[in-house]
Amino acid sequence: MLSLHGKIVAITGASGGIGEATARLLARRGAAVVLAARRGERVDAIARDIREEGGQAATCVVDVTKAEDLRRLVSATVEQYGRIDVLVNNAGIAPISPLAALDTEGWSAMIDVNLRGMLNCVAAALPVFHEQGSGHLVSIVSVAGLSGATPSMAVYAATKNAVRSVHEGLRRESTDGVVRTTAISPGYVRTDLAGSMTDPHIRDATRKNMDAMGIPPAAIARAVAFAVEQPGDVEIGEINVRPTVQA
């Protein structure tokens, strides 16, 4: 296992689920973490836990749909720790429903959080990565972005596919050894993602599948750790992490 000691990592969507698990694991392995989310009280509590366990943690209230919030996150991280080595783009929502439901507000929200949020991460971090000579963008995507549109998930899958496309474009534009990218696509994970689903039948079915086959958020956190602990000349471009019983 390579060391994360000295790494500075900012994580969006860090108030629970995969983001929280990632912050806790990376801190235990020696990284300094900055937890970002809209729920300030929640990330403050997690950061206190991390510090009480001997880790380094700070917080920042962030709405990823606002470009200025991402710029503030990156600036605050650099101001406190001197640089930002890794930005984990983890925030995401899934108010999925059949297209015939015409949930245009849900469609817009998924585009704003899942895709625009990732682009705001790129816009905020890329200049700093180039200025300091290195940097790593990690995005938590979804296997929904791999298998094409499935019933009720067309717009959600489209946003996740778009994130993967942007990642690949950034990778191809970043062969100078400065910027690394990693797209991690989870399958069913036991998180509160279903809480963002507005269709009650889909929400209940998703929760049932999560309970039946979901893996813990720590499984995705370990994938993040694996990617970011690699030496500077190694890039882990994509990782897919599913429960062994998921098709």
Identify the sign of the CA torsion 100, 94, 38, 65: negative
- How far apart are the C-alpha atoms of 171 and 204, rounded to whole Å? 37
Q: Which residue among the candidates 156, 194, 220, 229 is catalytic per the annotation? A: 156
81 a catalytic residue: no
Q: Is 54 exposed, middle or buried (0-12, 13-18, 19+ CB in 10 A)?
A: exposed
Residues forming the active site: 156
